[in-house]
Structure 1
Amino acid sequence: MPNAVRQPWMPPEEYLTYERTSDVRHEYVDGEVYAMVGASRRHASAVLNLAAAIRPAARGRGCDAYATDVMLRVEAANAYYYPDLVVTCDPADDDPYIVKAPSLIVEVLSDSTEHIDRREKRASYQTIPSLREYVLVAQDERRVEVYRRQDGGWVHEIVTEGEVMLETVGVTLSLDDVYA
């Protein structure tokens, strides 16, 4: 990950203990720990706009939505990530710090993370059985990509104008609102 500071290898239990007392957030991928870089104001605005629309819709469906600071466990990749937004609809997914059964994950792309979000994270996230939608939101252009799980596999939709539908939470988002 460009601009990330690589830390020495550590077991996941040690990472979790370290992370709860650290002043800096870190992502964990199979023993390697990466410090998170700060976000731009445009990135933060997009996350807040999305969270403002997604959280009430998620709660209306009995789900919970979290932005930026809640960890996501990806068992198949032995990884812990901090997605920009994550929704879980599983009542048994009740760890106070870690989401383990996400239904929807949103990442707002930035220059330093776009290739990780598109390749590494997408491949990892798509191994999670509960995941229904993975959404990538560009911050430098009006472009929202939705990877949606269907019976035959994953379908990819690109929206550059109008509205984008997030089936998991039953909300239609105007790109004007996303990019306000």
Structure 2
Amino acid sequence: MANAVTPSYVTLEAFWEAEETSESRHEWLDGVVYDMSRGTIEHARLIGSIVRILGNALLDECSVYSSEVMLYIAETKLATYADATVVCGPLATYRVAKLGEAITNPTLLVEVLSDRTEGYDRGEKFAYYMRISSLKEYVLVSQYERRIEVFRRPQRGRWIHEVAQAGQSLTLHGHAIEVDAVYAKPVR
């Protein structure tokens, strides 16, 4: 996680109000506000690709949201943004007065890895995400090689880890997703 940008406790309401007009993004963790790093062009392209592919695959069953939507994890008091969020079934949100709402029941979350965020996305942030009872799959997309990892919540025991690379596919919410399709660039 990045350095804190607030020297003292900030309420969730004050954070949300500031976030609505901020030119950059932040995370709120139990009263402390942290800068979120900016993504590269490739990072943004991969987010768009995975949102499009998941949206097409899950069209009739789930809603797919871009990184514009905030998540709120009450158990850990974390307000953050995932690169992609999928909700299957009714949407549950946490509303902060008239300021807005954040998703609280994701089924699947995606993070595109970068040098600055990979450790956090694999470690502390994943630990926060594991506390979300509705979360069934956590997906990590490499920005530097054709490699996608998925962590699945089993009925019991530890999360199951799978890796797919170039030329392979993996299953997300019961649908086969080709790794190469996520990384494909348009022909110009």
Rounded to whole Å, the distance in 1 between the matches of 2:129 and 2:65 is: 16
Q: Within the alignment, does 1:34 sit opposite 2:40 as a pair?
A: no
Q: Which of 1 and 2 has higher RCO (CA within 8 Å, sep 6+)?
A: 1
Unpaired runs of at least 5, structure 1: none
- 2:102 is matched with 98
1:149 corresponds to which residue? 153
CA distance, structure 2, for counterparts of residue 47 and residue 21 of structure 1: 23
Structure 1 segments (4+ residues) deviating >6 Å:
none
CA distance in 2, matches of 1:112, 1:132: 26
The alpha-carbon deviation at position 77 of structure 1 amounts to 1.1
> Residue 177 of structure 2 aligns with which residue?
173
Q: Distance in 2 between matches of 1:58 and 1:93?
A: 18
Amino acid at match of 1:59: L
Which position in structure 1 is the counterpart of 2:128?
124
Which secondary structure state, in structure 1, belongs to the residue aligned with residue 58 of structure 2?
helix
Query: Which residue does 1:78 correspond to in 2?
Result: 77
Query: Kindly tell me: are residues 106 and 92 of structure 1, through their superposed partners in 2, closer, same or farther at Cα, counting changes over 3 Å?
Result: closer
Separation of aligned partners in 1, 2:103 and 2:153: 19
The number of residues matched between the two structures is: 176
User: More deviation in 130-139 or 36-45?
Assistant: 36-45
Q: Which residue of structure 2 aligns with residue 46 of structure 1?
A: 46
Task: Calculate percent identity across the aligned residue pairs.
Answer: 39
Q: Say which SS state the counterpart of residue 52 (structure 1) adopts.
A: helix
- Is contact 1:104-1:133 (8 Å) kept? yes
TM-score of the pair, normalised by structure 1: 0.90
Aligned residue for 1:23? Answer: 23
How far residue 59 of structure 1 moved from its aligned partner, in angstroms, is: 2.9
Q: Say if 1:163 and 1:174, in contact at 8 Å, map to a contact too.
A: yes
Which structure would you say has the larger Rg?
2
Which sections of structure 2, spanning at least 5 residues, go unmatched? none
- TM-score normalised by structure 2 residue count: 0.86
Q: Partner residue of 1:139?
A: 143
Equivalents in 1 of 2:41, 2:101: separation in Å?
25
State the SS of the aligned residue for 2:45.
helix
Kept after mapping to 2: 8 A contact 1:58/1:87: no
Per-residue deviation at 1:5?
Answer: 5.9
User: Residue by residue, what CA displacement relative to the aligned partner does 1:142-173 show, whole Å, maximum 9, x if unpaired?
Assistant: 21111101112311111123111102xx3211
